């Protein structure tokens, strides 16, 4: 069972619907026991980093997610949920992340041409940099749906696929059993479903 962690941010039901559509058992939950028992975790999120980080820490959910991830449970962070996996974010101040993947989350605006709009909203193609279990059913050039104003920097080898938007925006990151998608796989049509299907098949120690 995949636990989709409900910590009060974002539309979790589209993630749940897409997993159900694929026949993957899932549960939207804020229950600690359910999260503890889950085979896999999805950390969703839209909105601002600081606010989300605070909400995730309520009831110690942040520590539980880190504990599960460190024990080998496959974890997928989506959009802001992916950004939370990094060490630090500079969205309205400076915030500590979960530090499961090295790197920092920085404003796109400072690094791209003013002619490019921020947020980066819409469909953009993926270029593969390194092998990743989540890309096994998709092809290079396949498009995914992004909505974000901040992006991961300094993630090094963890960056598995990027999209071009003035800079190389890390689209898919992975460090061991910890995965992140900056785009929304649950809103990326057939390509997104294939990425979720691949996550459903990732083997992990739980």
Partner 1 sequence: MIAKRIIPCLDVKNGRVVKGTNFEGIQDVADPVDMAKYYNGTGADELVFYDITASFEGRALFTDILKRTAAQVFIPLTVGGGIRDVDDFERVLSCGADKVSVNSGAIADPTLIDRAARRYGDQCVVLSMDVKRVNGQFRLFAKGGRVDTGIDALQWAHDGQERGAGELVVNSIDTDGVKQGFDLEMLSAVAERVTIPIIASGGAGKKEDFKTLFEAVPQVDAGLAASIFHRREVPLPALKEYLAGQGIPMRILREE
Asked if residue 85 binds partner 1 (CB under 8 A), the reply is: no
What is the sign of the dihedral through the CA atoms of 171, 24, 81 and 62?
A: negative
Asked if residue 50 binds partner 1 (CB under 8 A), the reply is: no
Contact 121, 151 (CB under 8 A): no
Q: Which of 40, 68, 95, 120 binds partner 1 (CB under 8 A)?
A: 120
Which of 95, 120, 148, 184 is an active site residue? 184
Q: Residue 25 CB: number of other CB atoms within 10 A? A: 12
| Residue among 3, 5, 18, 197 that touches partner 1 (CB under 8 A) | 18
By CB under 8 A, is residue 54 in contact with partner 1? no
- Three-class secondary structure assignment of 31-70: CHHHHHHCCEEEECCCCCHHHHHHHHHHHHHHHHHHHHHH
Contact call for residue 112 and partner 1 (CB under 8 A): no
Q: Token digits for 26?
A: 């899932």
Strand 75-78 relative to strand 40-43: parallel, antiparallel, unpaired? parallel
**Of the listed pieces 53-61, 172-180, 183-191, 198-206, which binds partner 1 according to CB under 8 A?**
183-191
How many residues touch partner 1 (CB under 8 A)? Answer: 33
Q: Is 143 in the site for partner 1 (CB under 8 A)?
A: yes
Q: Does 104 bind partner 1 (CB under 8 A)?
A: no
Given the rule CB under 8 A, which of 8-16, 29-37, 68-76, 93-101 is the region that contacts partner 1? 8-16
* Residues whose CB is less than 8 angstroms from the CB of residue 117 and which lie 6 or more positions away in sequence, other chains included: none
Question: What helix, strand, coil percent values describe the chain, rounded to 5?
Answer: 30, 30, 40
- Candidates 35-43, 84-92, 115-123, 151-159: pick the segment binding partner 1 (CB under 8 A): 115-123
Nearer to partner 1, 52 or 158 (CB): 52
Rounded to an integer, what is the distance from CA 176 to the centroid of its chain?
Answer: 14
**Active-site annotation holder among 91, 95, 132, 186:** 186
Provide the 10 A C-beta neighbour count for residue 110: 8
Tokens 């300094």 sit at which residue? 154
Q: In this chain, which of 14, 34, 87, 168 binds partner 1, going by CB under 8 A?
A: 14
Give the residue numbers annotated as catalytic, written as ranges. Answer: 79, 184, 186
């Amino acid at each position: 069972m995949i636990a989709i962690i409900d910590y009060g941010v974002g539309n979790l039901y589209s993630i749940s619907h897409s997993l159900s559509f694929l026949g993957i058992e899932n549960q939207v939950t804020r229950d600690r026991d359910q999260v503890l028992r889950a085979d896999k975790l999805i950390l969703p999120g839209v909105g601002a980093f600081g606010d989300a980080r605070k909400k995730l820490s309520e009831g110690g959910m942040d520590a539980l997610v880190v504990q599960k991830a460190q024990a080998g449970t496959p974890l997928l962070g989506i959009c802001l949920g992916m950004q939370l996996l990094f060490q630090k974010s500079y969205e309205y101040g400076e915030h500590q992340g979960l530090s499961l993947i090295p790197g920092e989350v920085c404003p796109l605006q400072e690094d791209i041409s003013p002619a490019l709009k921020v947020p980066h909203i819409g469909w953009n193609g993926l270029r593969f940099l390194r092998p990743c279990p989540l890309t096994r059913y998709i092809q290079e050039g396949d498009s995914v749906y992004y909505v974000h104003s901040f992006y991961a920097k300094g993630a090094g080898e963890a960056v598995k696929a990027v999209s071009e938007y003035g800079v190389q925006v890390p689209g898919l990151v992975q460090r061991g059993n910890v995965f992140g998608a900056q785009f929304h796989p649950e809103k990326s049509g057939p390509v997104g479903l294939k990425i979720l299907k691949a996550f459903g098949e990732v083997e992990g120690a739980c």
